[in-house]
Structure 1
Amino acid sequence: MSAAATAAADRGAQWLAAVDGVLWWAETRPAEGGRVALVRSLPGGGTEDVLPEPWNVRNRVHEYGGRPWVAVGSVIVFTHWTDQRLYALSESEGEIVPLTPEPATPQGVRYGDLRPGLEGEVWAVRERSTGPRRTDIARELVAIRLDDGAERVLVDGYRFFTAPQLSPDGTHAAWLAWDHPAMPWDGTELFVAPVDGDGSFGAARVLAGGPEVAVCQLEWESAEQLLVLADPDGWWNLHRVGLDGTAVNLAPVQRELGGPMWKLGVSWFAPLGGGRFAVLDAGQLAVLDEHAGSVTPVDTDLTVWSSAGLVPVPGGVAGIAAGARSDDAVVRIDPATGVVTELSPRPDELPSADYLPVPQERVFTAADGSRIPAFVFPPANPEFTAPEGELPPYLVHVHGGPTGRSDGALSLDFTYFTSRGIGVVAVNYGGSTGYGRAFRERLREQWGVVDVQDCVAVAEALVAEGLADPARLAVRGGSAGGFTSAASITTTRTYAAATVKFPILDFTSWTGDGGETHDFESRYLTGLVGPYPETEQRYRERSPITHVDSLAGPVLFLQGLDDQICPPEQADRFVAGLAGSGIPHAYLRFEGEQHGFRKAETIIAALEAELSFYGQVFGFVPPDVPVLELDR
């Protein structure tokens, strides 16, 4: 698998919805500078772009973005990345006009989680920069008129919101809200308010949620009832909540039918009618039957479904799905038969199935007896066999978040390495999602401890089983995974090398007071590490930058220069501390990249640099890639 083919195939779909019975979605385009296109399916098959270049349907709300487009009658309203303004596309006239004014500071006003409002309006979360710091942010729920762009505030007073949703009869609105230091998977409140004759909201009241109950999705079922994903019993289950406050769990199961709300507007369930619902059971499509109180997986090779769009369609449900040997695509499926119809093309650049590793879902054991789920992707290449007695190198992949998870879907990044004889193991360490609140909270005040120990336990178990070469282990990850990779290579001696992508390296400055992260996560460490400044010493001890002189081996840093979540200042300082240390290292900085890499040229350069890096550390010469220069 070449780096160029990996980049070319990385056209992920997202934000799926139906417009007059036709499926539309957003689609990333690495070959077009990483822009996000708006696409719709065609009746006879195939797709067409709705918006030509340079339109980029993406926004910066929470820096991770929120639902960036919505159909309001015959008008498509969308956010444009370059200026973060709202625009309206009239389908009948084909004209695009701006709805909101140019902000006083570039991208200083952002909109996300777009929803239909009252007639002639779109409702959204509005995020405004109010000062020079990344945390100088104010948010409100607003209504924007489609005829003249006039805005009015619907709700304020909380730090974070999801956009309000209007009840079927137009008499009520419902939304979620929460405040620092909670993250949305810690605790959110479901509000409902009457909509007055002038379009303003009356007195709001809380129907569900709280400090230790997280609601992650709501949908109106009728004028009097809502469908709500919440975890009052420690698992995200589907509930019916009445305006009178009554709540019923439609199928009590110790399984996660929801997930962490990293982006505003995601969805994990969709009604199918007759008391049946399509749900995502830790990412796998299932059918919830409220009459039987059951949740039954759908029998399909597509084992991982995206929360960025689950849409009821005639005869089934549409979504964005992938499998162990199939990249993600927009599909329609009949849950009763498992028959799948693909609506977006699969990448042409994929190699044959023999080159694609079949992941092995495993559960390892931590030192304290806790379980550690993981997916093992062994080397796979039909043209080569390892020399007798040779064990493969292995990369321990650490997912981001840390409130996130790895899954068993095809990963082209992993295939790039497994097709070259390097195994990958993706670890769902304590704190990962998909295993209930208690498992997530294994990481409470233990970030930098539990995650590091769990990854080491998995790596050493693979060595003990005779599957991995103990002298050729590396740890890799981005964002929170970059932190764990850096913490691992500075505090343990398990790994020979680490690849650290857009990382967190200094806890003391990655806080609201330190100013080196964005507002959404600026109090995240309160739960992950402890209250600050009361536990300042803990912040320092767990920060990899405190242990620059304790590196166990070479390290490669990869960083986007426009990253507002894990800004380059942190990697800059760490790498500066390595100057003259004698420890081999490299630092690649990419112009125009944010948190995660979107441009084809960046994806290629990063993968080839990482492969060259491992070759130099593990003692082999990778063919056909530039040699990465290492400093000392």
Structure 2
Amino acid sequence: MSERASGTDGQSSWGTRSTRAGEARRVTAEQATPTLPPEVTARWQARFRAPRVSLPDWAEEAPHRNLYSSDLSGVVEQYAWDRGTGAHRQVTDRPNGTLIATLSPGGETIWWFADNDGDEFGVWMTQPFGGGEDAVAVAEVGPAYPAGLEVGRSLVAIGRSTDDGSELWLAPHGGAPRIIYRHPDPASVDALTRDDELLVISHSEHGDPRYPALRVLRTGDDAVVAEKWDGEGLGLHALEFAPLPGDRRLLVGHERRGREELLVWDVAADTETEIVLDLPGDVTAGWYPDGSALLVGHDHAARTELYRYDLVSGGLERVATPPGVVRGATARPDGTVELAWSNSERPPVIRRADGPVVLSVSDEEAPAAYPVEDRWVPGPGGDVHALLVRPEGPAPYATAFLVHGGPEAADDDSYRARRAAYVDAGYAVVHVNYRGSTGYGSAWRDALTGRPGLTELEDIGAVYDALVAEGVVDPSRTLLTGGSWGGFLTLLGLGTQPERWTAGIAEVPVADYQAAYEDEMEGLRAYDRALFGGSPDEVRDVYVRSSPITYVDAVAAPVLVVAGANDPRCPIRQIDNYLTRLEELGKDHEVYRFDAGHGSLVIEETIRQVEIALAFALRHVQP
């Protein structure tokens, strides 16, 4: 991945805690349990423990064979589901879970990615759909960070990324694998035609992985069939080829008019048709199985709508869904639409667009949560969209600013167990879709280029000031917290806006940007070079200006730092550098370390970490 996606619904497995320079002790979750009524604790924990499932993936030629992820066992793992027989089977079983998997077109084989304790570095494995031994998929393709996988009928295309750059491999079934592309800059495998004859890859040979170009290769001889690039600052994203044999239409996302839109590229004729839709915000899409229409997802102002777009008539028909967020949707061969839906009050459900529940693995339903209120606040770069959740009682409130990661992501009107836990504890919660967030156009997303961190904090500060003036936020009781990029913004905010924050909780953060650059995965180094305008050797001042460790002397609030020992995105050494400076300066701080990567897929560890975060918050920012 090209950015620091955040899994901020919990990471933990063991912990140490230091409070002052030279003073450290090991703590357990029980010792740090917040002083909340038992029924409140039971309610927020039940939201995490209620089993969840992902939208099922189905085999193109065997749609009754499905694959989904679930935390039914207490750890996120992969499950096979035969809709014909109704049988469900757990496919993977690993201590730190398994997040990435797919099916072969005929449904005979499950492919899943095996990393090492969450470090994201590993190999592809296979297992028969009906069960059996796991096997390394293509032994010649060594361990790496994954960079795309396309499983065809006669071959498989595998993308891998290492410190040396990107390699894309083609492995015919029963034949010798070969490298078809190699480059020091990021590249990935994106889409394969139904007949396996053409493969589209994305690359960043022009030097900026945020705005990829596309290249189509003929799998028989690796020849270049077609290329497309919209130029500097304009990315192209291959979504999928049309689902028909011999069909050379490729669905592509573009941003030629300042937002994510769609086009259909006939790569054989090298012609394209832009799909212009009168919808605000960003759109993406997938094919209906007969290739005659697109299932369009439209994201705007923290909510999702679905549409069916007829490619012949140009008609756009709304697919009815309740207000909220659709995390994924697919059109089945019978024309029905299945989707993963939730809103801020109701927990996720896998259902058909016309209502019936498609998949549930438990009768246990998560408790309801709390509605969000929209706020649009004038900011230095334009109006900032924020979401507010109120606790019981009169304002002003002790308030937790929960800052999203990414940075190319957004907070929305979906069900969030962590958000609800803070509200249960008595806090108002504020989300800010700062400049850098997606869903508000390309210019908004790219506005932090050359000045990351400080730009986003200006928008967070504008929302803070507006809600204080409105009488919602008590400025003497404010918590800044987030994970990944949100953790980076938390530490940077504590150092550059010390007058605003009563306490901070930074999960898997960037804390020392120059050291992070040295240790992180190569794909992220390339992303950072594009974001900052070069490497630390080339633009050192820009990295220093945006690095939390630069401002550690000014930190006045107590801070809890959560760190993953195997994190390839926000590596442990740079966090330790920051913690060492806190200790040297005698700053009030605590640290919780866990033996996994950029987050955890273990539910009880998630709960343990939320316990520790709430305990810290309640000690320092009393509701």
* TM-score after normalising by structure 1: 0.81
SS in 2 for 1:21: strand
Q: Bigger shift: 526-535 or 370-379?
A: 526-535
Instruction: Give the AA of the match of 1:448.
Output: G
Instruction: Give the AA of the match of 1:376.
Output: L
Q: Evaluate the alpha carbon distance shift between residue 541 and residue 237 of structure 1 in structure 2; reply closer, same or farther with a 3 A threshold.
A: closer
Q: Structure 1 segments of 4 or more deviating over 6 A?
A: none
Provide the rounded CA distance (Å) in 2 between the counterparts of 1:522 and 1:298: 40
Provide the rounded CA distance (Å) in 1 between the counterparts of 2:519 and 2:259: 33
2:237 is the counterpart of 1:216: yes
Question: Which of 377, 384, 390 is 2:389 aligned to?
Answer: 377
Residue 235 (structure 1) shift? 1.7
Q: Evaluate the alpha carbon distance shift between residue 140 and residue 538 of structure 1 in structure 2; reply closer, same or farther with a 3 A threshold.
A: closer
SS in 2 for 1:588: strand
Question: Which of 198, 203, 223 is 1:202 aligned to?
Answer: 223
Residue 399 (structure 1) shift? 0.7
Percent identical? 23
Provide the rounded CA distance (Å) in 1 between the counterparts of 2:115 and 2:453: 36
Q: Evaluate the alpha carbon distance shift between residue 542 and residue 218 of structure 1 in structure 2; reply closer, same or farther with a 3 A threshold.
A: closer
Name 1:62's counterpart in structure 2.
Answer: none
After superposition, where does 1:245-260 map in structure 2 within 5 Å? 245-253=270-278, 255-258=280-283
SS in 2 for 1:579: helix
Question: Which of 572, 579, 584 is 1:575 aligned to?
Answer: 579
Name 1:270's counterpart in structure 2.
Answer: 287
Provide the rounded CA distance (Å) in 2 between the counterparts of 1:156 and 1:287: 39
Name 1:524's counterpart in structure 2.
Answer: 527
Name 2:357's counterpart in structure 1.
Answer: 341
Name 1:625's counterpart in structure 2.
Answer: none
Provide the rounded CA distance (Å) in 2 between the counterparts of 1:98 and 1:273: 34
Name 2:560's counterpart in structure 1.
Answer: 556
Q: Which has the higher contact order (CA 8 A, sep 6+)?
A: 2
Q: Evaluate the alpha carbon distance shift between residue 501 and residue 10 of structure 1 in structure 2; reply closer, same or farther with a 3 A threshold.
A: farther
Q: Bigger shift: 493-502 or 342-351?
A: 342-351
Cα contact 1:38–1:49 (8 A) shared by 2: yes
Name 1:265's counterpart in structure 2.
Answer: none
Residue 234 (structure 1) shift? 1.9
Provide the rounded CA distance (Å) in 2 between the counterparts of 1:55 and 1:588: 20
Q: Where does the alignment leave 5 or more consecutive residues of structure 1 unmatched?
A: 60-66, 130-135, 260-267, 380-384, 621-632
Instruction: Give the AA of the match of 1:303.
Output: G
Q: Bigger shift: 270-279 or 538-547?
A: 270-279
Q: Evaluate the alpha carbon distance shift between residue 10 and residue 452 of structure 1 in structure 2; reply closer, same or farther with a 3 A threshold.
A: farther
Cα contact 1:475–1:499 (8 A) shared by 2: yes
Name 1:63's counterpart in structure 2.
Answer: none
Cα contact 2:72–2:361 (8 A) shared by 1: no
SS in 2 for 1:563: coil
Name 2:21's counterpart in structure 1.
Answer: none
Cα contact 1:177–1:190 (8 A) shared by 2: yes
Provide the rounded CA distance (Å) in 1 between the counterparts of 2:250 and 2:145: 28
Question: Which of 47, 68, 81 is 2:114 aligned to?
Answer: 81
Residue 536 (structure 1) shift? 1.4
Q: Evaluate the alpha carbon distance shift between residue 10 and residue 73 of structure 1 in structure 2; reply closer, same or farther with a 3 A threshold.
A: closer
Q: How large is the Cα RMSD of the aligned pairs? A: 3.0
Instruction: Note the alpha carbon deviations across 1:335-361, whole angstroms, 9 max, x for none.
Output: xxx43433234772522x3xx211112
2:341 is the counterpart of 1:314: no
Cα contact 1:55–1:80 (8 A) shared by 2: no
Residue 406 (structure 1) shift? 0.9
2:202 is the counterpart of 1:182: no
Provide the rounded CA distance (Å) in 2 between the counterparts of 1:546 and 1:156: 37
Question: Which of 580, 583, 594 is 1:590 aligned to?
Answer: 594
Q: Evaluate the alpha carbon distance shift between residue 39 and residue 421 of structure 1 in structure 2; reply closer, same or farther with a 3 A threshold.
A: farther
Residue 111 (structure 1) shift? 4.9
Name 1:101's counterpart in structure 2.
Answer: 139
Q: Evaluate the alpha carbon distance shift between residue 14 and residue 502 of structure 1 in structure 2; reply closer, same or farther with a 3 A threshold.
A: farther
Name 1:505's counterpart in structure 2.
Answer: 511
Q: Evaluate the alpha carbon distance shift between residue 202 and residue 359 of structure 1 in structure 2; reply closer, same or farther with a 3 A threshold.
A: same
Q: Evaluate the alpha carbon distance shift between residue 367 and residue 228 of structure 1 in structure 2; reply closer, same or farther with a 3 A threshold.
A: closer
Residue 545 (structure 1) shift? 0.5
Name 2:58's counterpart in structure 1.
Answer: 17
Name 1:446's counterpart in structure 2.
Answer: 451
Residue 92 (structure 1) shift? 6.0
Instruction: Give the AA of the match of 2:326.
Output: W
Work out the number of aligned pairs and report it: 566
Provide the rounded CA distance (Å) in 1 between the counterparts of 2:318 and 2:622: 45
Cα contact 1:229–1:237 (8 A) shared by 2: yes
After superposition, where does 1:158-557 map in structure 2 within 5 Å? 159-163=185-189, 165-179=191-205, 181-183=207-209, 186-195=210-219, 199-221=220-242, 223-243=247-267, 244-253=269-278, 255-258=280-283, 268-271=285-288, 275-282=292-299, 284-289=304-309, 290=311, 297-301=318-322, 303-307=324-328, 310-333=330-353, 338-345=354-361, 348=364, 350-351=366-367, 353=368, 356-368=369-381, 370-379=382-391, 385-386=392-393, 391-492=396-497, 493-511=499-517, 515-532=518-535, 533-557=537-561
Residue 273 (structure 1) shift? 5.4
Q: Evaluate the alpha carbon distance shift between residue 349 and residue 226 of structure 1 in structure 2; reply closer, same or farther with a 3 A threshold.
A: closer
Cα contact 2:96–2:600 (8 A) shared by 1: no
Residue 430 (structure 1) shift? 0.6
* TM-score after normalising by structure 2: 0.83
Provide the rounded CA distance (Å) in 1 between the counterparts of 2:108 and 2:147: 17
Cα contact 2:562–2:591 (8 A) shared by 1: yes
Residue 452 (structure 1) shift? 0.4
SS in 2 for 1:372: strand
Provide the rounded CA distance (Å) in 1 between the counterparts of 2:258 and 2:447: 13
Provide the rounded CA distance (Å) in 1 between the counterparts of 2:201 and 2:526: 22
Question: Which of 162, 166, 170 is 1:139 aligned to?
Answer: 166
Residue 162 (structure 1) shift? 2.9
Name 1:49's counterpart in structure 2.
Answer: 89
Provide the rounded CA distance (Å) in 2 between the counterparts of 1:82 and 1:168: 29
Provide the rounded CA distance (Å) in 2 between the counterparts of 1:587 and 1:30: 30
Residue 91 (structure 1) shift? 3.8
Q: Evaluate the alpha carbon distance shift between residue 588 and residue 50 of structure 1 in structure 2; reply closer, same or farther with a 3 A threshold.
A: closer
Provide the rounded CA distance (Å) in 2 between the counterparts of 1:56 and 1:549: 36
Residue 619 (structure 1) shift? 3.6
Provide the rounded CA distance (Å) in 2 between the counterparts of 1:228 and 1:212: 16
Residue 112 (structure 1) shift? 5.4
Residue 565 (structure 1) shift? 0.7
Question: Which of 131, 134, 151 is 1:116 aligned to?
Answer: 151
Provide the rounded CA distance (Å) in 1 between the counterparts of 2:362 and 2:372: 20
Instruction: Note the alpha carbon deviations across 1:535-575, whole angstroms, 9 max, x for none.
Output: 31232122110111101311111111111110121221212
Q: Where does the alignment leave 5 or more consecutive residues of structure 2 unmatched?
A: 1-39, 117-121
Instruction: Give the AA of the match of 2:477.
Output: R
Provide the rounded CA distance (Å) in 1 between the counterparts of 2:96 and 2:127: 13
SS in 2 for 1:510: helix
Residue 582 (structure 1) shift? 4.6
Provide the rounded CA distance (Å) in 2 between the counterparts of 1:411 and 1:153: 42
Name 2:68's counterpart in structure 1.
Answer: 26
Instruction: Note the alpha carbon deviations across 1:60-105, whole angstroms, 9 max, x for none.
Output: xxxxxxx5322143521413425633333334674544333398xx
Q: Evaluate the alpha carbon distance shift between residue 346 and residue 95 of structure 1 in structure 2; reply closer, same or farther with a 3 A threshold.
A: closer
After superposition, where does 1:140-159 map in structure 2 within 5 Å? 140-147=167-174, 150-157=176-183, 159=185
Name 1:382's counterpart in structure 2.
Answer: none
